[in-house]
Chain A
Amino acid sequence: MINLRKIFKKSHIIVTLILIFFICYTIAFINARHKEAKPRVKYHKADELVEYGGYEYTFEKSTMYTTKEIMDKYGVDKNSLTAYTILSIDSKYDAKFMITRIHCKRVSEEVNPPEFYEFENRYVICCPEMQLTKLNLPKDYKKVKELKVGEETTWDEIAYINNCNIDKDLWKKLDKQTFYIQLSDYEGHEYMDRIRVLN
């Protein structure tokens, strides 16, 4: 009589099960890659014309400022900065600011404007400095959503980074880091435009 126990050892069964698992997993993984569109990232340089959602954008090169520099530049106190109203004015934390001039022109009837402009690099996300951006909007500024075909607008988008959640060494060399403005295609998240605005 055939002794199945001798032919199929326990270790053989375990190895076979592991192999079956990994084969099934590989099939599932290949299927997932086919199902999920790979997000394509288009890289652009600063001052390059970028078409996005029915608009033509030009992002000028950004400049990074310290709190003192930004207060001197715009003649404002810490109270007028979102960065410090969030952190509290007496906070021991420090903030750095990035200013980017954005030109936007509507070129299409059908538009899909971005909700906001994401400033980020590999490790850090910048938050929008709303109070200062609003304070410094030009008189002829029009919201991107309100633009008619052929109309254009220009403004300085200000973002800040605070050091409460950043490694000390990274904070010291933040000026040398590459920063991008990121425009995402939310409709199907199939592509993303990254404009290199700093370094």
Chain B
Amino acid sequence: MLKIIKMELKRGFNSIGTILSLLIGFACIGYKNYILISHDIHMDDLIEKSGDTSYYMFNKGNFYNRWIVAYIDPSMLYLFYFLGIIVALPYGISYYNDRKRGIIKNICTRVDKSKYLKAKFASVFITGGTVAVIPVFIDLLISKLAYPYDFINISGTALCGRTKWLIFIIDHMYIAAFLFLVLWFIFGGLLASISLLVSIIADNIFTIQLTPFFIMLFLFYIPTYFPVKYNKYFPYYFLRIHNDYIPTIILLVISSIAFFLIYTNIEKRKDVL
């Protein structure tokens, strides 16, 4: 079992899609930071010209001020827009390709099909999660450069005592940052596994590749039609600090298990030869 997972993971991470995904992710993060840095330069000029030093107060704070999970600006939205593409590019269409090219026949004559399906799901989940989490982690590192001292001064920052999760973030910044990365990983994996689910019924490469993208866009715009109290169940909110962490992670894990069961149970019954 471990051998086939290793093989699938190797195939996933060695694919050109992984590099493309990372490039798209870095471009989104790069654009966000470019906007922020140009804003900083503009502010410095403004302070120099006007002499109004009160603008400086916004420079105190901690890395959450600039990190994508807490920062609010249209420039950070691109990662959310493209997340569906980013996670599905590396390995989302692999199952479809395996079937189409007949690779599945070669594999399933050597190993148990259920093992192959489990390994496929695990590898799609892990590659999707990894490419989702790396740009967010890089953004954390860049944000840390802007705020090298974790100065706890909540005025002018996104942090406050509104929820227990936010209180936890203020008390344990780095543990919370790690938990955010875990959250992004699981969500990325879950979004990537949608491609696998779609490949059960669809027979078109674009449908399989682009479904996570359209689902993400749908989940991005749909909260406007719901009362505000339900917003926390949508990715734009629960991937950021405005959520309750534990219900979100439980929801994501349950969804992942459900996706896994649906995928393996349906595909196991199909004949490959």
> B-contacting residues of A (Cβ < 8 Å)?
10, 25, 28-29, 32-33, 36, 38-39, 115, 118, 120, 122-125, 165-167, 169-170, 182, 184, 186-189, 192
B161 partner, pick from A10, A32, A118, A123, beta carbons under 8 A: A123
What is the chain B residue whose CB lies nearest that of A186? B53
A193–B209 alpha-carbon span in the complex (Å): 55
A167 partner, pick from B54, B59, B162, beta carbons under 8 A: B162
Task: Give 24 CB contacts A-B under 8 Å.
Answer: A10-B14, A28-B145, A32-B145, A32-B148, A33-B149, A36-B148, A36-B149, A38-B149, A39-B60, A39-B149, A122-B152, A123-B166, A124-B154, A125-B154, A125-B160, A165-B162, A166-B161, A166-B162, A167-B163, A167-B166, A186-B54, A187-B56, A188-B56, A189-B59
Interface size band for B: 20 to 34
A25–B54 alpha-carbon span in the complex (Å): 31
Listed from nearest, the 8 A-B pairs whose CB atoms lie closest are A123-B161, A186-B53, A33-B148, A32-B148, A165-B162, A32-B145, A170-B161, A189-B56
CB distance from A6 to the nearest CB of B (A): 18
Asked if A118 meets B155 with Cβ closer than 8 Å, knowing A125-B160, A170-B167, the reply is: yes
Further 9 A-B residue pairs, CB within 8 A, beyond A125-B155, A167-B166: A10-B14, A32-B145, A32-B148, A39-B60, A124-B154, A167-B167, A184-B57, A188-B56, A189-B60
A29–B153 alpha-carbon span in the complex (Å): 21
A186 partner, pick from B56, B163, B167, beta carbons under 8 A: B56
CB distance from B25 to the nearest CB of A (A): 15
CB distance from B228 to the nearest CB of A (A): 13
> A-contacting residues of B (Cβ < 8 Å)?
14, 53-54, 56-57, 59-60, 141, 144-146, 148-149, 151-155, 160-164, 166-167, 170-171
Chain B interface, >50% SS class: helix
* Inter-chain contact B170/A122, CB cutoff 8 Å: yes
Q: Which residues of B contact A166 (CB under 8 A)?
A: 160-162
CB distance from A41 to the nearest CB of B (A): 8
CB distance from A26 to the nearest CB of B (A): 10
A167–B164 alpha-carbon span in the complex (Å): 6
Asked if A182 meets B145 with Cβ closer than 8 Å, knowing A122-B170, A166-B162, A187-B53, the reply is: no
Q: Which residues of B contact A182 (CB under 8 A)?
A: 153, 155
CB distance from A88 to the nearest CB of B (A): 17
What is the chain A residue whose CB lies nearest that of B152? A122
B164 partner, pick from A169, A186, A188, beta carbons under 8 A: A169
CB distance from A112 to the nearest CB of B (A): 9
Asked if A29 meets B145 with Cβ closer than 8 Å, knowing A123-B170, A125-B155, A192-B153, the reply is: yes
The interface centre, meaning the residue of B56, B161, B163 with most chain A CB atoms within 10 A of its CB, is B161
Q: Which residues of B contact A165 (CB under 8 A)?
A: 160, 162
* Inter-chain contact A39/B152, CB cutoff 8 Å: no
Q: Which residues of B contact A33 (CB under 8 A)?
A: 148-149
CB distance from B49 to the nearest CB of A (A): 16
Q: Which residues of B contact A188 (CB under 8 A)?
A: 56
The interface centre, meaning the residue of A29, A124, A167 with most chain B CB atoms within 10 A of its CB, is A167
Asked if A25 meets B148 with Cβ closer than 8 Å, knowing A167-B163, A170-B167, A192-B153, the reply is: no
A115–B155 alpha-carbon span in the complex (Å): 14
Q: Which residues of A contact B167 (CB under 8 A)?
A: 123, 167, 170
A165–B159 alpha-carbon span in the complex (Å): 11
CB distance from A15 to the nearest CB of B (A): 13
* Inter-chain contact A120/B154, CB cutoff 8 Å: yes
* Inter-chain contact A122/B154, CB cutoff 8 Å: yes
Q: Which residues of B contact A123 (CB under 8 A)?
A: 154, 160-161, 166-167, 170
* Inter-chain contact B154/A115, CB cutoff 8 Å: no
Q: Which residues of B contact A125 (CB under 8 A)?
A: 154-155, 160
Asked if A124 meets B160 with Cβ closer than 8 Å, knowing A184-B57, A189-B56, A192-B153, the reply is: yes
* Inter-chain contact B57/A189, CB cutoff 8 Å: yes
* Inter-chain contact B151/A39, CB cutoff 8 Å: yes
